[in-house]
Structure 1
């Protein structure tokens, strides 16, 4: 549910879009014997998006977006300059977000199928520059340099240095961490009528500008392969990562959840310095509008949960590895694409996920 309005300012056209149900429709998780309407309301989010395609008359683009929910918020300003021939596209970014730290500090409940609040929230402010290299082959790359300020908050908005059990939540020991990060992202994509392949790699390096600023190297990769098998389609992906050097708990890799291992709550499998997640999914048509799917997910923190400062994974009893399997349906209708997944985890806990994407306006 939303509204869109175009405003003419001189020769430019400004697009304004307001959406009140984006996150609610994107993902609902329904649990057996659950009547927790508060968890559903926490998914409701209001969105405001403003776009100006020609800010100073030289094809400069300005994008402003703001998403506000009951428990989180996200604000982004992006200014893009036209790309000179053979040079990188430049994009100046200011980004501020506030969100609960469920993946690391959340408390697993209902046999690890959900994660409750651990009373820790992350406020992150970053200012930086993106340089997008022109794609002249299947490879594309982006280089980012940014300053980042991370502050930890309690549920009532107060700055904190320790969690409810007295363990540090920052690396510096103060209420905030600062860092200058150089980030390199590269992606390879190849596709034809019968299959596609995608491989992405992301490397972040913390630069030692001041003595208390974080110095680290964070590496992450994702490989995806899709193959058409007659009328069916098989999709497999492998995701992994690791971090060395200075580290705060909120930088840990969280394993578990809808985009990771289905059947578990967010971060309920583990949270460590390293991770490895494998997903496989077979989709097959049932009729013109309905598809069936069976899936198998596996994730592990590779025994690195104990290496995270404060060891939140061990204190919360996370298993460190887990398997989720199940089946689901995909339904295409005029409203949008509806999907439902029924998953079971290693503890025999069953979870139903329901969502809507590509919503018609």
Structure 2
């Protein structure tokens, strides 16, 4: 594609520092000083490449011609690689992937036949890197004078996976756990994630199937189905005030949800119908209504509350990759309206916001590739509940995923909360990284408005501050996190889990 424009005194304009965009926008002409007649002087051919383009200049006599071409995407190819980064197996055959090529092409904004744009290519690369089914995505280009061939090289994760584990806790004692996960069913990134936990006291499970929204099929909505059953020592009614028989309060949850998934612009959306039955129980798993002080444990007064809710959430994900991102951000906003049906007749609205920002820095790094890149990671959260709600559903502040240095729910159990966390992450070895962190949170004095005031009666401070350091180890089982936290109350806690805090 060529655009012909006539310009005046091109040599003077080039010396004067005019850029190509200014030239393209100019009306080119030459005016004879004596006659006032405007006549053509020079010819320029201008097009576009990448964001601003390149040009080729050629001088001929008193005229100068600049050739500036639009390069068109000739083809997009998807190639899969193995763990060694190879495109072919031992028999010389191309590596086959599980993911359908048409599905991948449907996710891309830059299509064959379009003018090549660097910004769209980068956005597509990040979009593919955020898929859970992909472990590594790189892109190459093959160019000629007028076209670009885009080649994606993709290493897939090893799905499906079987996870076996076990442990012991204060509630059920020894337990065994088995999990099954596949994030690329049918090559379309449909996901099944299930876990079953067995003990002498109980059977717990959590299973979810998700078929995400596909940009290549705009008239089709995604969907998700979930079912769960769990029990734990209550974070709201902790051991500071027990039941009349001396038992700690157990909190059981049973329910499920059905949701529809969509997208507009760069925002992902979800609408879901949810049900949760919350029950408060003793060690023998008998339902209890009040604690040792006679304070109610549920809205219904029976020890059991039903929550029927309709939820809506939007999320904008601009991270450069899904696992251990190095830059970008993710913002999630949600609202959940309770419908007054069932025990407790609960009507409330739960509002939450969650923002994470990743900022690459180079304070001590040497610029070499690492599994633990140097960065600042910032997380801001806020939430509130309007109306009546089960006290067990209060915002429990404190713990490994909240304010480190405190036990779970030890800071506050409030109607509202705000949380700010900052981490400085830095590499130590290729697969080992370090973290310096600080967490700050508050219930904004809202614990007094929770039914039964469980946080106030248990002398939870309502706000808390923690800081410390940690290690990150990238293993074949995923990222292992160990954090040593120190609270502003002087408590020191070291806890180990998997995955980054945010």
Give me the TM-score of the superposition, normalised by structure 1: 0.77
Deviation, 1:137, is: 3.1
Partner in structure 2 of residue 223 of structure 1: 355
1:261 to 397, 400, 403: 403
Q: How does 1:1-361 map to 2 (within 5 A)?
A: 17-21=162-166, 42=173, 45-49=176-180, 64-68=194-198, 74-78=204-208, 85-101=218-234, 103-107=235-239, 119-133=248-262, 135-192=263-320, 195-209=327-341, 212-230=344-362, 231=365, 232-333=374-475, 337-356=479-498
User: What is the aligned residue count?
Assistant: 319
Separation in 2, partners of 1:223, 1:327:
22
> Given the superposition, is the C-alpha separation of residues 43 and 187 from structure 1 closer, same or farther in structure 2, using an over 3 Å criterion?
farther
The alpha carbon displacement at 1:175 in A equals 3.0
Q: 1:41 to 1:293 in 2, by over 3 A?
A: farther
SS where residue 402 of structure 2 aligns? coil
Task: Give the 3 Å change call, closer, same or farther, for CA 196–263 of structure 1 in structure 2.
Answer: same
- Residues 327 and 342, structure 1, Cα contact 8 Å, conserved in 2: yes
Structure 1, 231-240 or 251-260: larger mean CA deviation = 231-240
Compute the displacement of 1:310 (Å): 0.9
Q: Which has the higher strand share?
A: 1
Alignment check: 8 A CA contact 2:403 2:440 kept: yes
Contact in 2 for aligned 1:73/1:98 (Cα 8 Å): no
Query: What is the CA-CA distance between 1:154 and the residue it aligns to?
Result: 1.3
Q: C-alpha deviations, 1:177-214, integer Å up to 9, x for none?
A: 22320011211111349621111112110123469521
Mapped to 2, the partners of 1:229 and 1:349 lie a distance apart of 31
Q: Distance in 2 between matches of 1:296 and 1:106?
A: 24
Shift of 1:165: 2.2
Distance 2:279 2:303 in 1: 6
Tell me how far 1:54 sits from its aligned partner: 8.5
C-alpha displacement of 1:158: 0.4
Deviation at 1:50, TM superposition (A): 7.8
Contact kept in structure 1, 2:176 and 2:197, CA below 8 Å? yes
- Separation (CA, whole Å) in 2 of partners of 1:254 and 1:357: 21
Q: Which has the higher contact order (CA 8 A, sep 6+)?
A: 1
- Tell me, in whole angstroms, the C-alpha distance in 1 between the residues paired with 2:494 and 2:345: 43
Query: How far apart, CA to CA, are the structure 2 residues paired with 1:87 and 1:227?
Result: 35
The structure-2 alpha-carbon separation of the partners of 1:71 and 1:132, relative to structure 1 and needing over 3 Å to count, comes to: farther
- Between the aligned partners of 2:469 and 2:356, the Cα distance in structure 1 is 20
Q: d(CA) in 2 for partners of 1:93 and 1:244?
A: 26
Q: For the aligned residues, what is the CA RMSD?
A: 3.5
Equivalent position SS for 1:104: coil
1:16 Cα offset (Å): 8.0
Residue deviations 1:265-315 (CA, integer Å, cap 9, x gap): 001011110011110000112232332211111111111111111111111
Note the C-alpha offset of 1:91. Answer: 3.0
In 1, Cα distance between equivalents of 2:274 and 2:425: 40
Q: Quick check: 2:239–2:249 contact (8 Å CA) kept in 1? A: no
Change (3 A) 1:322 1:189: same
Specify the SS of the correspondent of 1:181. strand
Unaligned runs of 5+ in 1: 1-13, 25-36, 110-116
Bigger CA radius of gyration:
2
Q: Which runs of 5+ in 2 are unaligned?
A: 1-158, 366-373
**Closer, same or farther: CA 262–225 of 1 in aligned 2, 3 Å:** same
Once the 2 structures are TM-superposed, how far is the Cα of residue 39 of structure 1 from its aligned partner? 5.6
Q: Distance in 2 between matches of 1:108 and 1:43?
A: 24
Q: What is the match of residue 8 of structure 1? A: none
CA 1:80–1:214 in structure 2 vs 1: closer, same or farther (change >3 Å)?
same
